Every structure is written in C-alpha cells, then in structure tokens.
Amino acid sequence: MTELKADVLVLGAGMVGVGAALHLQKRGRDVILVDRQDLAGQGTSFGNAGMIECASVFPYMFPRNFGEILRYARNRAPQVRYSLGDLPAFLPWLVRYYLASSPERAFKSAMAELPLIRRSLIEHEELIAEAGVPELLRRTGWIKLYRSEATLAKAMREFDRAKQYGVAGEVLDDAAIKLREPHLGGEFKGAIHFTEPGFVPDPGGLAKAYAALFRRKGGSFLAGDARTLEQSTGGWRVSVDQGAVTAREAVVALGPWSDLVFDRLGYSIPLSVKRGYHLHLAARGNAVLNHPVLDADQGFVLAPMNSGIRLTTGVEFARRDAPPTPIQLQRALPRAHALFPLGDALDARPWMGARPCLPDMLPVIGRAPRHAGLWFDFGHQHHGLTLGAATGRLLAEIMTGETPFADPAPFAVERFG
C-alpha cells in the first residue's frame, strides 16, 4: 500500500490513547491511532471496577504505618500480594514508591493531579454524549464498606480531609446500607457512599465507542507494532499490517508497555506495574447489585457490569509478563459469595491486567525532551479509565499551543532526571 501520512501518530488504543486521539482530532489534527489489537480497549482498559473516580483526590500511596507494612510483607493481606521470585526485579521501584509516599510528597502529587481528577467526569460526559452511548454511564457513585471500627474511623478521617477539596458523599449506618443494597450480607460498622463518581458498566465497550467516534470523525485506526517506531525525515514512522504510516509527531500512550518504546529511545523512566485480576459471576435468583461496592477490609470490589457481577482484586506486585497467579481472586471468591448471592463463574478463566505506575503515582504527560515531535502520555496508575479523557485534553492543549487547563509541569518526564 502507499505509505499513509498524518499529523500525529497515537500509539495505543486504550482509554488514554483514544482520549488523546479524540482531543487532538478536535483541535484540527489529522490523527492515526495504532494498536497491536484490531479493537480498542482490549488491554488494561478492559479490566477495572468501572469507576470514573472524580472523588479520588488522594492517590494510592505506599503505606507509612509499620503494622500495615508488616502485614503486607507477610503476603497474607487481601489488598496486596507480591511474587517472591520477582522481588529483586521490583524492589528498587518499591523503595522509590515508599520514598515518594512521604506525607509531603504524597500531598504534592495529590494537588498536582487534583485538576485532572475533578475534570475527569466532565470530559467523559462530553465524549459519551458525542459518541451516543449514554447507557455506558451510570451516576450511581460507589459504596465503600467497613467491617471494623478501626477501618471505619480511618476512612472517616480520610473522607473529612477529602471534603475540603470538594468530595461529596454520605456516611451510612447498617440500615442505610441495607436500604441501598438489600441483597448484601455480612456485618458492617458503617460505609461511605461516594455519590459523585460515574460508573461504566462496560469499560472496554466505552473505549470501543470512543474509537468508533474517532473513526466517524475521519480518524484512521490501524493494527501495527509500536516497537517499530523510528524517527524519519520530518517526523516518525511505524509499521502497520498494511505497510507503514508516518507523521510529524508521535504520542506514546501504551500504558504498561510504554517501556517497549521509550527504552529503545534511551529514556530511563521508572515505570512499573501493579497487576490485578477480575472474574465475572452470575447473580443468584433475583439478587440485584445497585452500586459497585468495595469490601475495604477484605480487599475486593463487586461491580454490576453488563457481562455479570465483576469481582476485582487488589494489587499484585510481579513482572508484567510473568504467568498469571490469581491467588488473590481465589481467596476473595468465598468472601464475595458471603457478601452477595453469586452463582457460577461466567468466564472460562480469570482476566489479568497491569496498571502502569510511576513511583509518585502521577502519569508522564508531555514532550520527550531529546526527540523532536515525540510525546508521552502513560503511567495513569489506578486511574486510566478515570483520567484518560482529561489527560488527553491536557496533552492536546500542550501540543497545539493552547493554554492548558492544568499545570503540566508536575507530569513532565524531566522530574526523573
């Protein structure tokens, strides 16, 4: 085929890449979206709890409480598990994560990301309306359940702090929990219903709807190998199934696989992953789950997806490409059955994905300093679905010379030296 040309290549068709492609397209750029899959949203964007977490002001930082660290180190906590064999590979990154999680540095990260978090649902609402898929957004918020006085008290302190930054919610006693979710079982000291966040009952489907919108507006979506990206005369070139495509600029939005490109280009960026699993199960009888619910003490989420009740686990520290070890999921299953009337599994096997994380829990957004026309947009940690549309707007504003709606400096790759 004749070599295709565009203004911008966006590498990666997850929520982050599609969000960037749409915002660049909206600003008059001719964009080609490239992914190894024929469909958008097949990677990390496919598997999550479906929350557009506009209430998550404070990122998930490394714990500072010694007792909590010791509990995780014993590898029995439901929220976190690590692969002992992979420990040498990710221990240096964990040390950087711990250091970046000091109260001062964690607060700095939170304040840097706050404009993105607070803009996240607004950007999604606009894209969902334009894509014509209002059924993929439910304004239910989500409920965090607490089984002990200690965990409830800690959550209340965090909630009081978050309210200072505009987070809304309701504290629930046992009767209020039952009113909202009559089919839940178990004894709880209380819960917090975060009422603002949006819930997406098919995250992979939303990424596909955005990609379809991108195509309707004249964009090209091609299957190709991002690892073939190379600088060419006047821009960037990448191989696709039909041949090759070139553009003046290229955006690396490959989530946990971004290192496959930036490593080759000589960038030393401390990108690591937190792996996670999910499994869909049927609801028994006439049982209905009205909201996503987090069992905070037992470390899992149940979310009422279109494809069944999705059980999602906490964090697994292991190499990105190591074989799946869904031990957390196996441990969570009996607890999930006790929480809600679940039937048979609807998936042949559990799904596994990898959340791309930097030690300060902030993404890298902006110019690659040593290569003209190369841009980065990855490392969205637990908030790829939440932030993809907002960071797409921020990147597009930077690339097209607009005044950005948030300060881009904290997201620059130069922060890592």
* pLDDT tens for each residue of 185-213: 999 999 999 999 999 999 999 999 999 99
Residue 359 and residue 92 in contact, taking contact as beta carbons nearer than 8 Å: no
pLDDT of residue 34: 98
pLDDT of residue 68: 86
Q: Which residue has the higher pLDDT, 278 or 83?
A: 278
What CATH number belongs to 4-45+204-270+359-416? 3.50.50.60
SS3 10: strand
pLDDT band at 223 (very low <50, low <70, confident <90, very high): very high
Question: Residue 133 above 60 pLDDT?
Answer: yes
Per residue in 32-76, pLDDT tens? Answer: 999 999 899 998 889 889 999 999 999 999 988 888 888 888 888
Of the candidates 114, 138, 112, 140, the one whose C-alpha atom is nearest the C-alpha of residue 125 is 138
* Element holding 18 (H helix, E strand): helix 15-26
Per residue in 365-379, pLDDT tens? Answer: 999 999 999 999 999
pLDDT of residue 1: 52
Give the 3-state DSSP-derived string for 83-142, with helices as H, strands as E and coil as C: CHHHHHHHHHHHHHHHHHCCHHHHHHHHHHHHHHHHHHHHHHHHHHHHHCCHHHCECCCE
Cβ atoms within 10 Å of 300's Cβ, excluding its own = 25
Segments of the chain assigned to CATH 3.30.9.10:
66-101+139-198+273-353
Per residue in 228-252, pLDDT tens? Answer: 999 998 899 999 998 999 999 999 9
pLDDT of residue 65: 86
pLDDT of residue 76: 81
**What integer best gives the mean pLDDT of the chain?**
96
- Whole-number Å distance between alpha carbons of 192 and 159: 8
- Whole-number Å distance between alpha carbons of 227 and 95: 29
- What average pLDDT does the segment 382-388 reach? 96
Segments of the chain assigned to CATH 3.50.50.60:
4-45+204-270+359-416
pLDDT of residue 417: 86
Per residue in 326-359, pLDDT tens? Answer: 999 999 999 999 999 999 999 999 999 999 999 9
pTM: 0.96
Question: Residue 16 above 80 pLDDT?
Answer: yes
Side chain identity at 365, as an amino acid letter? Answer: I
Tell me if the domain spanning 66-101+139-198+273-353 has CATH number 3.30.365.10: no
Query: Phi and psi of 138, rounded to 5°?
Result: -115, 135
